[in-house]
């Protein structure tokens, strides 16, 4: 090849004049069967023509020269439809990355979207299976709804039996407990000292002074509450060496001790049961303690007023009938010269009865006043009981808060 032979021209690679031509062959879409029949085909670029150099010039038979004068091929018709190429690649890199992100991203949870009731901005799924909570949207029949409402109202009206039982027990125990405590207050050395030293108390016509009465009477009172046997009184002697108490007196004091200790034991048991009832009502029934004590105070007042009327009408008969209830006939009668009568004359028992009745009446009256069912107390208690029956703990707590508010803050 000589230097004068024409050099082959390089193909034109300028793409600015033909923007419709793809930059890379692998990005050309694969024409589907439907698209190939309708999309217009692109005109093929003609092969470059070769020119023969003049005769006599060297190298004229081997070097083809591409044509630079022919027209460039142009695409006829509209742009071909984009389709996936044979290798399964998207049309562009951005589309390929979007497809990869769509494949990697999980579908939104249908169950959570159904519960939340919110729609997402993501692509909806073409397949949706029935949700597990779809049955909740089915409303029961009207008769079933009416039946459930009727049962709910009936349950709210019917109060539980447990609080009622404990309220009755508290009302029954209250007068007995008060009576036992009042008796315990009388059977004490303090009451004995007050009684012997009060003005107007009758003296002993057989020689006992106030100090003698206080000394011997304290032995008798202590015997009623201690664990000693009959010899505790049977072994006592007076100043001349004779027995202070006869055998019949010691036997009667033993009977009195049995009655007193039995009543104290029963009172202690009732106090424990009353505390249990109070704790139960405090937890299960707001206002139950108040209602039980209110009923108990009424019962106590009725009993004590009735006994006071009977005692005032005929004290001697009342005293006799009382002894007949607890003691056998002939075991509790003594002469005026016996030690028990000299230490505890008739005026002593009258005063003891008055003190017992006054203490019980006072405590019962105060309980009656402080547990009186006012309008606010009844309203708070009723609201709490209805809330307990319906199982609404929040409403029960609200009723407790209302009942615990000071009176001046309530409207």
317-345: pLDDT as tens digits: 999 999 999 998 888 989 999 999 999 99
Beta bridge mates, 243:
237
Q: What is the pLDDT of residue 81?
A: 46
What pLDDT, on the 0 to 100 scale, is given for residue 375? 77
The answer to whether 171 touches 292, Cβ cutoff 8 Å, is yes
3-state helix, strand, coil in the chain (%, to 5): 60, 0, 40
What's the pLDDT at 97? 74
Alpha carbons within 13 angstroms on the beta-carbon side of residue 350 total 10
Mean pLDDT of 352-372: 95
Task: Report, as an integer, the average pLDDT of 230-257.
Answer: 91
If you average pLDDT over each of 12-21, 119-128, 240-249, which comes out highest?
A: 240-249
Helix (H, G, I), strand (E, B) or coil at 19: coil
Q: Which residues of 113-127 are buried (b: 16+ CB within 10 A; e: fewer)?
A: eeeeeeeeeeeeeee
Structural tokens at position 74:
């142009």
> Is residue 310 scored above 50 in pLDDT?
yes
The pLDDT value recorded for residue 144 is 83
Distance of CA 269 to the CA centre of its chain: 32
Band (pLDDT 50/70/90 cuts) for residue 252 is: very high
Q: Which of 4-8, 36-40, 348-352 has the largest mean confidence? A: 348-352
More confident of the two residues 162 and 257: 257
Task: Give the span between the Cα atoms of 110 and 131, in whole angstroms.
Answer: 8
Q: Let me know: does 218 contact 197? Beta carbons within 8 Å.
A: no
- Among residues 288, 266, 287, which one has the least CA distance to residue 277? 288
Please give the pLDDT value at position 161.
Answer: 87
Q: Which residues of 78-87 are buried (b: 16+ CB within 10 A; e: fewer)?
A: eebeeeebee
| pTM score, whole prediction | 0.57
Residues facing 237 on adjacent strands: 243
* Whether residue 275 has pLDDT greater than 60: yes
* Residue 127: pLDDT over 60: no
Among 155, 206, 145, 189, CA closest to 337: 206
Over residues 110-135, the mean pLDDT reads: 51
Residue 39 DSSP one-character state: S
């Amino acid at each position: 090849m000589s230097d004068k032979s024409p050099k082959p021209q390089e193909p034109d690679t300028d793409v600015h004049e033909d923007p419709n031509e793809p930059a890379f062959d692998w990005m050309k879409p694969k024409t589907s069967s439907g698209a190939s029949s309708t999309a217009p085909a692109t005109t093929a670029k003609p092969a470059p023509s070769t020119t023969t150099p003049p005769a006599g010039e060297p190298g004229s038979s081997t070097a083809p020269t591409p044509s630079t004068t022919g027209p460039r091929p142009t695409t006829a018709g509209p742009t071909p439809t984009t389709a996936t190429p044979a290798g399964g690649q998207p049309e562009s890199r951005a589309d390929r990355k979007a497809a990869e992100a769509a494949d990697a991203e999980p579908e939104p949870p249908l169950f959570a979207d159904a519960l939340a009731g919110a729609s997402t901005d993501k692509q909806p799924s073409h397949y949706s299976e029935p949700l597990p909570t779809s049955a909740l949207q089915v409303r029961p029949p009207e008769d079933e709804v009416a039946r459930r409402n009727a049962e709910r109202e009936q349950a709210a009206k019917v109060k539980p039996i447990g609080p009622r039982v404990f309220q009755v027990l508290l009302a029954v125990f209250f007068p007995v407990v008060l009576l036992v405590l009042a008796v315990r207050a009388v059977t004490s050395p303090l009451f004995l000292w007050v009684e012997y030293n009060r003005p107007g108390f009758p003296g002993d016509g057989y020689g006992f002074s106030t100090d003698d009465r206080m000394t011997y009477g304290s032995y008798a009172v202590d015997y009623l509450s201690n664990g000693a046997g009959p010899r505790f009184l049977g072994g006592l002697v007076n100043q001349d060496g004779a027995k202070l108490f006869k055998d019949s007196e010691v036997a009667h004091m033993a009977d009195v001790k049995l009655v007193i200790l039995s009543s104290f034991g029963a009172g202690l048991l009732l106090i424990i049961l009353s505390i249990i009832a109070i704790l139960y009502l405090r937890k299960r029934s707001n206002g139950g303690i108040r209602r039980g004590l209110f009923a108990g105070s009424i019962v106590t007042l009725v009993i004590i007023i009735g006994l006071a009327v009977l005692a005032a009408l005929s004290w001697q008969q009342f005293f006799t009938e009382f002894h007949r209830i607890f003691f056998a006939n002939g075991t509790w009668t003594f002469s005026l010269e016996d030690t028990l009568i000299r230490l505890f004359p008739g005026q002593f028992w009258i005063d003891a009865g008055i003190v017992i009745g006054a203490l019980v009446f006072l405590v019962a009256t105060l309980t009656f006043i402080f547990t009186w069912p006012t309008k606010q107390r009844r309203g708070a208690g009723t609201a709490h009981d209805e809330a307990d029956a319906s199982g609404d703990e929040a409403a029960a707590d609200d009723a407790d808060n209302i009942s615990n508010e000071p009176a001046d803050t309530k409207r």
